[in-house]
Amino acid sequence: MSQESSHDEVPDNFDYFSNPSWRIFRIMSEFVEGFTFLAKIQNSVTFFGSARLPKDNPYYKLAYTLGKRLAEKGYTIVTGGGPGIMQAGNQGAYDANGKSVGINIQLPMEQRVNPYVKQSISLHYFFSRKVMLDYSAEAYVFFPGGYGTLDEFFELVTLIQTGKMNKDIPVVMMGVDFWKPLADWIEDTMLKKLHTIGPKDLELWNLTDDIDEAVSIITRQVEKQEAQRLTKKGGKTKTPEDKLNEATHPMAGTEQ
């Protein structure tokens, strides 16, 4: 037998991907890779919505039109990179010869990089992707979707409510028929009945079906953010440090 301890040898079948220590390193590398990728994206609007809505769905057409309009005004359209609403937003930007970005993850039977993404990153961990999408833009638009879309919506408004994101970042809910019942429940139950939120928390989003109104809200609020950065830092665009500082900023002390 060799004088070296057998415990010092790594078995041939060692599973690096399942080993807890190696998973931590992989998570760290995804965050480094993700924020490095985000550093290249400026003047961006991120679209959220269902991956299951087909091209003939009215909300697909709405997302396509808004993506195209915003791209024509110089905005980068960021999505999760998949089909449905994500593809609609990317397609609109693509057809306008604008910048079209996807932050992707592989989901069985559902997720793939749509053909209208010009620049993409693919992440392994769902929570890594969520963080990158949360800090990917200067404005966020939510179309009808499933649990994932609702999860992202509530996370975004919580980050703004608690001071983890700039209060001037616009959150636009496109699709009155879909979102109005939820907005009514938030106001009637959370605010008026249980008092679990404050009146100003209803001002964290804008509900509309109107493309012109959505473009106006986004343009006005993004320009406001740029003016703030120009005054404070001497430049309009977000630096990589700005994006990382925003993601790691302490809470403002306001209640969730």
Q: What are the pLDDT digits (tens) for 187-222?
A: 999 999 999 999 999 999 999 999 999 999 999 999
Residue 34, in any domain of the structure: no
Residue 29, in any domain of the structure: no
Q: Does the pLDDT value for residue 1 go beyond 60?
A: no
What pTM was estimated for this model as a whole?
0.88
Distance CA 178, CA 102 (A): 25
| Count of structural domains, the chain | 1
- The residue range of the domain holding 236 is 42-247
Distance CA 164, CA 170 (A): 14
Whole-number pLDDT of residue 21: 79
Mean pLDDT, rounded, for 141-156: 97
Distance CA 34, CA 123 (A): 8
Mean pLDDT, rounded, for 235-248: 75
CATH of the domain at 106: 3.40.50.450
Whole-number pLDDT of residue 233: 83
CA distances from 58 to 91, 167, 209, 224 (A): 15, 31, 11, 31
Q: Which residues of 158-191 are buried (b: 16+ CB within 10 A; e: fewer)?
A: ebbbbebbbebbbbbbbbeebbeeeeeebeeeeb
Residue 16, in any domain of the structure: no
Residue 255, in any domain of the structure: no
Whole-number pLDDT of residue 3: 45
Residue 46, in any domain of the structure: yes
Residue 132, in any domain of the structure: yes
Q: Does the pLDDT value for residue 244 go beyond 90?
A: no
Tens of pLDDT, residues 26-70: 889 999 999 999 988 989 999 999 999 999 999 999 999 999 999
Distance CA 30, CA 179 (A): 33
Whole-number pLDDT of residue 249: 73
Residue 32, in any domain of the structure: no
Band of residue 109 on the pLDDT scale cut at 50, 70, 90:
low
Better pLDDT: 230 or 4: 230
Residue 92, in any domain of the structure: yes
